[in-house]
A and B are shown apart, each in its own frame.
Chain A
Amino acid sequence: MEASNTTPRSLYPPAPPGITINLSREQLTTFGIFLFLGLLPWIPILGWTDIFDSSNNFGRGNLAFVFAYGAAAVGFNLLVGYSGTLGLAVAGLFALGAYGTAVLSAPSDAREALSGYDWPFFLALPVVCIAAAIIGVLVGFPAARLKGFFLAIATLALGELIVTIIRLDDDVWSGLKTNGGTGKQVPQFLIPGLDRILSVYMLSLGALVLMMVAYMVLTNRRLGRTLKAVRDIDIATGPLGISSTYYKLVAFGLSAFAAALAGAMWAQNSSFANPQTFRTRLLVFLLVVLIVGGLGRKWGPLIGAVFFVFLRQKLQDTQKLLFLILGIALILSVLVLPNGIAVLPKQIRDSRWVKDLQRRLESLLDFSP
């Protein structure tokens, strides 16, 4: 570490060396994100979806799944990666988002598998997401007193409870209209002028952009570091004036909001929801997304979601193999890349091999006498 005597000292982290534009690291990242998100809508229009499937339609649908899983994982990352709270109710809240929007926005006079309450989609969506956030916070109240393993079990039970209520349908409350264990058809919301798959794509992308921007802004600033403090120095947060319970609840609420939003997008995409989909399997998927992508890393959730959906698409015909490979990927990730794929560039940059190569190149290019 060498001292750099730049005056005045920059208050924000400077851009990495090699980049000559006079911007802070944060501004660069924000710029990069907006550039990246701004490019995404062009992918289906230009038809660059081949990597996910040779058929253009499937490819776009899969990308929309990436966005949905990405949005859920972003919230999940705030909870698990940043605040270090292992709340596992995410699958249940995902189901809440899927079923909530489906039931509320369905026509009231349709047959049983598609009947609902006639709400406009864009009213149902925020209502469901906010309701999920409130449920998340309410669950967080008792759960924030638990630690690690016990917290995981308690929240897992809540997730299962939501799915069970959906499956029981009429036995709980006749107005639930979730059509029990047989599954519910999801009314499609079409953006005017777009076909179904493109409409889903744009909706999911919108959800991802919303979550991603909020996530980037919040993690770059005070909330990010405060959540990290709750995770790493929980015991010392009191003398810093930080209430760790409050911030755990904030994380619970945000992750529940994200999960419900992602669930709604997922339902739009798959157009059919079945309680069986939202069992612990979905939770495992999201955990894989998060751990392989990089827990507590900014880009982790998105990278993980791309990885997961890509793998799922390639192993579409052999579901059993998917689980095997996911398991292997998880173990490999923990062994080789414990911080996820998101830190791979940094690891490569910092590796001895690359440093050595850099030095040699520099000495090669050094023409000074």
Chain B
Amino acid sequence: MSVVEASSPGANPVDAVASLAVDDLHVAFGGNRVLLGVDLQFAPGFNGLIGPNGAGKTTVFNVVSGYVRRSQGAVRLHGKDLLRMSRTRRVKAGIGRTFQAPRLILDATVMENTLLGRHHLFRWGHFAELLLLPQQRREETEARQICMDMLDRFGLADFAHEEAGNLSLGSQKLVEVARALVADPTVVLLDEPAAGLGADDVTVLLRGLREIQAERDLCVIIIEHDLQLVTSLCPKISVLHFGEIISEGSPEHVTSDPAVIEAYLGHGFEAEEGGEIHEVESPLSEHHHIDHVEEEGTLEEVWTEDDGPEKGGSS
């Protein structure tokens, strides 16, 4: 998009190494045009995809994993056209994803839920299962071992045989991330993995993700509202706003981009070198990072907290 080129020259990483490439993606639900020509390249490593609510972030994921039909554009995984494949084929090709709300079988154990992730890697069918073939049994045990190791990384090994419904929401989200990772994907789409997680869980999540990313050279794409988390984790961030990429590049570049600040906060704010956001007329105290806006609700609630008489300073 021309906007990006103008605002961030040379910020894009080299396209040749892109694991997942989205070209000129258009999506419309009836008359509601959600994506207006999105170009994205995701290389191995951590990639952030941020933007205000309703920007179309999850729609990008839905197109990639096959839930939404695009009206125009292409998605390629390692150069292969992804959009021709069925949802299950995409998984075999190496796409893994999680959902905003955890989707687990609540009356099955955590282990069973995690094992679902390896479903497509089983070579022996259900008939072998029925005949109690030892090969099938061995395969199952191997799969369980892999799942147990993965659960261990996310601090869930002790709950492997608990019913998933007994776990807290945060742990359930971790189980879902583990399930996406045991499928041996090359590209993982994580839809708000840290939303609703406590501080400990976030630490565990990030440590696990970093380890696995480093081991497998994974391409991890994260939608997240917690800007602090995204900026600390992702060397490359894309900002989506009303179906268009308005900024792309390093965290410093993105957080200081006037277009991004405007999209998040409206008119009247600007950023300093360090990426901190200040109101133009009345500079605010330090703890007013833009992530507070997303976390604590509507814009006005947050910005009127300390302002006192200068409330509504953006006017």
Measuring CB to CB, which residues of chain A are less than 8 angstroms from any residue of chain B?
1, 3-5, 9-14, 214, 217-218, 221-223, 225-226, 228-229, 231-233, 235-236, 238-243, 250, 296
A218 proximity list for chain B (CB < 8 A)? 126, 129-130
**Given A11-B141, A223-B129, A243-B88, 17 extra CB contacts under 8 A:** A5-B158, A9-B148, A221-B129, A222-B122, A222-B140, A225-B112, A225-B113, A228-B112, A232-B106, A232-B107, A238-B67, A238-B91, A239-B96, A240-B179, A241-B120, A242-B120, A296-B107
Report how far A73 CA is from B141 CA in the complex, Å. Answer: 30
A11 proximity list for chain B (CB < 8 A)? 111, 141, 144-145, 148
Q: How large is the interface on B (under 10, 10 to 19, 20 to 34, 35 or more residues)?
A: 35 or more
Q: Are B103 and A235 in contact (CB under 8 A)?
A: yes
- From B122, B145, B162, A1 is in contact (CB under 8 Å) with B162
- A24 closest partner in B (C-beta): B161
A9 proximity list for chain B (CB < 8 A)? 148, 152, 157, 160
Q: Are A222 and B119 in contact (CB under 8 A)?
A: yes
- A217 closest partner in B (C-beta): B130
Q: Are A241 and B112 in contact (CB under 8 A)?
A: no
- B180 closest partner in A (C-beta): A239
Q: How far is the CB of A209 from chain B (nearest CB, A)?
A: 14
Report how far A5 CA is from B107 CA in the complex, Å. Answer: 24
With contacts A3-B158, A222-B140 taken as known, whether A241 is within 8 angstroms of B129 at the C-beta atoms is no
Report how far A270 CA is from B213 CA in the complex, Å. Answer: 65
Q: How far is the CB of A133 from chain B (nearest CB, A)?
A: 13
Q: Are A228 and B91 in contact (CB under 8 A)?
A: no
Q: Are B115 and A225 in contact (CB under 8 A)?
A: yes
With contacts A9-B148, A228-B105, A239-B91 taken as known, whether A14 is within 8 angstroms of B161 at the C-beta atoms is yes
- B117 closest partner in A (C-beta): A240
A226 proximity list for chain B (CB < 8 A)? 116, 119
Report how far A57 CA is from B179 CA in the complex, Å. Answer: 54
- From B86, B103, B129, B144, A236 is in contact (CB under 8 Å) with B103
Measuring CB to CB, which residues of chain B are less than 8 angstroms from any residue of chain A?
65-67, 86-88, 90-92, 95-97, 99, 103-109, 111-113, 115-117, 119-120, 122, 126, 129-130, 132, 140-141, 144-145, 148, 152, 157-162, 166, 179-180, 183
A242 proximity list for chain B (CB < 8 A)? 88, 116, 119-120
- From A222, A235, A241, B92 is in contact (CB under 8 Å) with A241
With contacts A233-B105, A240-B179 taken as known, whether A1 is within 8 angstroms of B130 at the C-beta atoms is no
Report how far A307 CA is from B231 CA in the complex, Å. Answer: 61
B106 proximity list for chain A (CB < 8 A)? 232
Interface-central residue, A4, A217, A221, A236, by most chain B CB under 10 Å: A236
Q: How far is the CB of A231 from chain B (nearest CB, A)?
A: 8
Question: Can you spell out 9 A-B residue pairs with CB atoms less than 8 angstroms apart?
Answer: A9-B157, A217-B132, A225-B108, A232-B105, A238-B91, A239-B90, A240-B179, A241-B120, A242-B88
Q: Are B148 and A239 in contact (CB under 8 A)?
A: no
- A13 closest partner in B (C-beta): B161
Q: Are A228 and B162 in contact (CB under 8 A)?
A: no
Q: How far is the CB of B184 from chain A (nearest CB, A)?
A: 11
B105 proximity list for chain A (CB < 8 A)? 225, 228-229, 231-233
